[in-house]
Amino acid sequence: MNIVPSVNLNDFVSEDSTRKQKFVNEIGKAYEDIGFVALKGHFLSDALVENLYKEVKSFFSLPTETKQKYEIPGIGGQRGYVSFGKESAKGKKEGDLKEFWHFGQYVDNNEALKKEYPDNVYVEELPEFNKIGKETYKMLEKTAKYVLRALALYLGLEETYFDAFIYNGNSILRPIHYPPIKEEPKEAVRAAAHGDINLITLLMGAQGRGLQVQNHKGEWIDAIAEPDELMINVGDMLSRHTNNKLKSTIHRVINPPKELWGTSRYSIPFFMHPISAMKLDVLESCVDDKNPKAFDDITAGEFLNERLIELGLIKK
């Protein structure tokens, strides 16, 4: 498969069971193969998307000293600002050529989780940034819930299997700014090859060239979305839970050609995480003679911790 297939969530939420099943089959097949789809019919309005980009650009245009006020020590970059070059892909020493922000869960009715998660960081200079960030978080979380319902059906589970694990889950919305490139980056790239940690990722901003995904032959193929599409891919948690039936595909963001070095890239992934207590133990329905159990039992919280150490975001 050399292109990322396109699917439409309106099929899944329609009352028509044939259309619903068509969506389930299309996304399931795509995730068994390339691990990515471009999705139309998400719950973000054009106005919300426009306002979000406006606020995100305003935030990254703030003076460095102002942004650094929001870089909170001791929480592994899980909320607030992470400055340029801090994060590197697993196993790579050069930092990625990016700065980013993290919005986390707005916990409802659960004191234990309120304590477990770091608080969201409030940007005083940009009240709308905080408000629009929260709205976007909620809409992407809702979109992700339906995608996971479709995947649950594909896997032969109850449709609402994931619902209780993602309610108040540890998801993160990450606006990223890849600044203009000023000098030969040598080994560093905008985002080095990696798999995502979480269950699924919903990515806004894959419209321009830059994002590439690796197919089975090891070839890099461009993943470019239409203006009304989100890119949605499987992360390592879901691939582990399904014994690698659903593929967490390695992807990267390449540097632009020299004539475009002067341009920024803005992209906004939503990393859908479950609550940390969710067991990612391999599902029995994904084990057979040809596919023996390939992963040890682990919870989502333990797995996340391991990976944040590997990314250089927290210390052992």
Ligand X SMILES: O=C(O)CCC(=O)C(=O)O
List residues near Fe ion by CB under 5 A. 196
Cα separation, 52 vs 130, whole angstroms: 10
| Residues 59-78 close enough to bind ligand X by CB under 6 A | none
Query: b/e per residue, 13-30, with b = 16+ CB within 10 A?
Result: eeeeeeebebbbebbbeb
CB 194 to Fe ion: min, Å: 6
Q: Which is nearer to ligand X, 200 or 246 (CB)?
A: 200
Residue from 123, 213, 253, 282 binding ligand X (CB under 6 A): 253
Q: Which is nearer to ligand X, 113 or 213 (CB)?
A: 213
Stretch that binds ligand X, among 41-49, 70-78, 203-211, 241-249 (CB under 6 A): 203-211
- Cα of 78 vs its chain's centroid, Å: 14
Q: Which is nearer to Fe ion, 153 or 193 (CB)?
A: 193
CB 249 to ligand X: min, Å: 11
- Contact flag: residue 99 with ligand X (CB under 6 A): no
- Contact flag: residue 203 with ligand X (CB under 6 A): yes
Let me know: does 167 contact 113? Beta carbons within 8 Å.
Answer: no
Cα separation, 151 vs 159, whole angstroms: 8
CA nearest neighbour of 121 among 86, 81, 87, 83: 81
Residue from 149, 240, 251, 307 binding ligand X (CB under 6 A): 251
- Contact flag: residue 196 with ligand X (CB under 6 A): yes
Cα separation, 264 vs 208, whole angstroms: 11
Q: Which is nearer to Fe ion, 26 or 236 (CB)?
A: 236
Residue from 44, 148, 176, 193 binding ligand X (CB under 6 A): 176
- Contact flag: residue 267 with ligand X (CB under 6 A): yes
Let me know: does 37 contact 4? Beta carbons within 8 Å.
Answer: yes
The residues near 308 (Cβ < 8 Å, ≥ 6 apart) are 76, 314
By CB under 6 A, name the binding residues for ligand X: 176, 191, 196, 203, 206, 211, 251, 253, 267, 269
